[in-house]
Each structure stands twice: as C-alpha cells, then as structure tokens.
C-alpha cells in the first residue's frame, strides 16, 4: 500500500527506510531528484518530514520503488517494512 499522505511520514522513518535498503543519502537524493542537503533536512526533522510536499513524495516514491512500504500510525506506532514479494 502506497503512503498517500506524505504528512504522516516522519523524517526518522525516511532515515530508517534508507538504511534498511542500504542506500546512501546521495543515492536516495538522486533517485528522488532532490539535493542531498534537502534530504538531510528532511531526515533530521522531528515529526512529519520537513520539506516541500513534492520533494517528500518523491523520496517516499523512491523508497517504495526500492521495495518498502510505510506503515501509518494505527495505535501500534508508525513504521516501515519490506513489501510482500510476489512469488
């Protein structure tokens, strides 16, 4: 399931997701067509990822293309996980 509402994704989720798929900041920034300083600010933000909505969405899309999905806060805490792989 794609994370439609970018405002519910935290900077820490983005940093954790990037680490989970073993991407460097430069690699993710390039995949999302944003600058490394923009990604650094996004990852360092407390709460919802800071930045222009289109940039946050581009980062989320790049991480989803790498095989992850973002799990919204649902009483158990927000998170990330690998998407179910189809056999």
> What residue segments make up the domains of the chain, in order of their start?
6-82
pLDDT, residue 86, reads: 66
For the chain, where are the alpha helices, taking DSSP H only? 11-20, 25-32, 36-44, 53-65
In contact, 10 and 1? CB cutoff 8 Å: no
pLDDT, residue 51, reads: 94
User: Between the CA of residue 28 and those of 8, 48, 74, 87, what are the distances in Å?
Assistant: 20, 18, 27, 27
Q: How many Å apart are CA 57 and CA 9, to the nearest integer?
A: 10
pLDDT, residue 7, reads: 75
With a cut of 50, which residues of the chain have pLDDT below it?
Answer: 1-4
* Whole-structure pTM value: 0.88
pLDDT, residue 58, reads: 98
pLDDT, residue 73, reads: 83
CATH of domain 6-82: 1.10.260.40
pLDDT, residue 5, reads: 59
Q: What is the largest CA-CA distance in the chain?
A: 38
pLDDT, residue 2, reads: 45
């Amino acid at each position: 399931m794609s994370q439609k509402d970018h405002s519910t994704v935290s900077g820490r989720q983005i940093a954790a997701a990037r680490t989970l798929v073993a991407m460097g900041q430069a690699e993710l920034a390039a995949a999302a067509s944003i600058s490394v300083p923009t990604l650094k600010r996004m990852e360092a933000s407390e709460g919802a990822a800071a930045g222009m909505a289109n940039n946050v969405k581009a980062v989320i899309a790049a991480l989803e293309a790498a095989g992850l999905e973002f799990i919204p806060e649902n009483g158990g805490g927000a998170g990330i996980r690998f998407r179910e792989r189809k056999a």
